Chains A and B, each alone.
Chain A
Amino acid sequence: DAKTTQPPSMDCAEGRAANLPCNHSTISGNEYVYWYRQIHSQGPQYIIHGLKNNETNEMASLIITEDRKSSTLILPHATLRDTAVYYCIVRVGNDYKLSFGAGTTVTVRA
C-alpha cells in the first residue's frame, strides 16, 4: 500500500473548521483514501473514505486533489469531543490490510 504523510499535531479552535492534510504521492489508481480517528484509548472510529471524488457524510468532508496525491479531511465545526488522533490510510479496495501510521494528534481548544 502507498504510504501517507501527516503532520504530527495541530490545534484547532472550537467551532471553527478543522482542515487535516494528508500526502499520498505514491497512491495507485485502485487505492482508496480512508480516514479514522482514535479518541484516547478507545477503538479507532471510521470517518470517511473516497477514491477520487470528494465525499461528505454527517461527520466530515473528504477533499481529494485531482492528481490524487493528497487529500484533506474537513471537520466543519470542531468541538472539544473531536480531540483525537486522526489517521489517513490508503488501501486497495479488496485488500483488508489497514496500515496505521503515526497520525495527526488534533487538539480542539475552547
Chain B
Amino acid sequence: SAVISQKPSRDICQRGTSLTIQCQVDSQVTMMFWYRQQPGQSLTLIATANQGSEATYESGFVIDKFPISRPNLTFSTLTVSNMSPEDSSIYLCSVEGIGTGIQETQYFGPGTRLLVL
C-alpha cells in the first residue's frame, strides 16, 4: 500500500475562519476521497476528488462549504470554510487504485483532528 500523509494532523480554529487540509500520497493513485468522522460517529464520505475537474460531492455536502482541489495524481486539498463548532471532526483522506496495492481497495490517511471554538 502507499504512504498517505495529512497536514495538519490537528488544529484548533475559531468559528468563521477556514482551514485547508492537505493529503499527499507517495505514489500515483487513481482515486482520492475525503471523509468526515464526527465525534462518536462513523465515517461519512464527503466527496471524490477528481483530477482536473470539479469534485463529486455526496448528498448533504456542497462545494461552497468544502472546496476540494486535486492538481495531480498524488495530492489533494480539502478546505473547511466558514467553520462552526459543528465542523469539529476528524477529516480523512483515502486513496484507491495504487499501482502496487491491492486493487479495488481503499487506504486511509491518518486523519486531521479539527476542533472549532
Q: Which A residues are within 8 Å of any B CB, using their own CB?
A: 32, 34, 41-46, 49, 87, 93-94, 96-98, 100-103
Contact = CB atoms under 8 A, between A and B. Distances in A.
Interface residues of B, number: 23
21 contacts: A34-B105, A42-B110, A42-B111, A43-B92, A43-B94, A43-B108, A43-B110, A44-B92, A46-B102, A46-B106, A46-B107, A46-B108, A49-B102, A93-B104, A94-B104, A96-B33, A96-B48, A98-B94, A100-B42, A100-B43, A100-B44
Interface string B84-117: 0000001010101000001011111111010000
B107 A96 contact: no
Interface centre among A45, A49, A100, A101 (most CB of B within 10 A): A100
B104 A32 contact: yes
Contacts of B106: 46, 96, 98
Task: Give the interface SS of chain B, mostly helix, strand, loop or mixed.
Answer: strand
Contacts of A102: 42
A56 to B, nearest CB: 14
B42 A101 contact: yes
Given A43-B109, A45-B108, A98 B42 contact: no
B105 A97 contact: no
Nearest to B4: A43
Closest A-B pairs by Cβ, 9 of them: A43-B108, A100-B43, A100-B42, A44-B108, A43-B111, A43-B110, A43-B109, A43-B92, A46-B105
Contacts of A45: 108
B38 to A, nearest CB: 12
B45 interface: yes
